[in-house]
Amino acid sequence: MELNANSATSPIFAKSYDFLLWLLNHTEKFPKNERFRLARRLEDAGFEFYELLIHATRSPKRRQALLLEADLVLDRLRLYVRLSHARGLTTDRQYEYAANALVEIGKLLGGWLNRLTKAQTE
């Protein structure tokens, strides 16, 4: 799926891509038993989040609903990252990176949703 010029340069796409790439590199180092359990959930949620962002740029009529769905997936990502840390699969430093990245992505998503809401009320 090709992105338009605005989405390709948007900070949320860049930050989400960087996080997804980090996540894939990180989860491939999980022990085999966790690769089929927690790593898979992390990866699937990461891909789903990015795909929802792409769909939101392509579907103006459904944009807000897609972004709200992306927000739910982001919450799942946060949970899975916390679980990976609690299970000792993520170091403190890795957890800090992931948590900060997810907070930043969440702020960007919230800003996008706020702009949409504001535009709808004007």
> Which of these CATH numbers, 1.10.600.10, 1.20.1440.60, 3.40.640.10, 3.30.720.210, describes 5-121?
1.20.1440.60
What is the Cα–Cα distance from 22 to 16, expressed in whole angstroms? Answer: 10
Total-model pTM: 0.90
Spans of all domains in the chain: 5-121
pLDDT value for 122: 74
Higher-pLDDT residue of 85 and 5 is 85
What is the Cα–Cα distance from 24 to 46, expressed in whole angstroms? Answer: 9
What is the Cα–Cα distance from 107 to 62, expressed in whole angstroms? Answer: 20
What is the Cα–Cα distance from 29 to 27, expressed in whole angstroms? Answer: 5
High-pLDDT (> 70) share of the chain, %: 93
Q: What's the rounded mean pLDDT across residues 6-29?
A: 90
User: Confidence band (pLDDT; 50, 70, 90) for 121?
Assistant: confident
pLDDT value for 1: 35
What is the Cα–Cα distance from 96 to 94, expressed in whole angstroms? Answer: 5
pLDDT value for 25: 97
pLDDT value for 118: 86
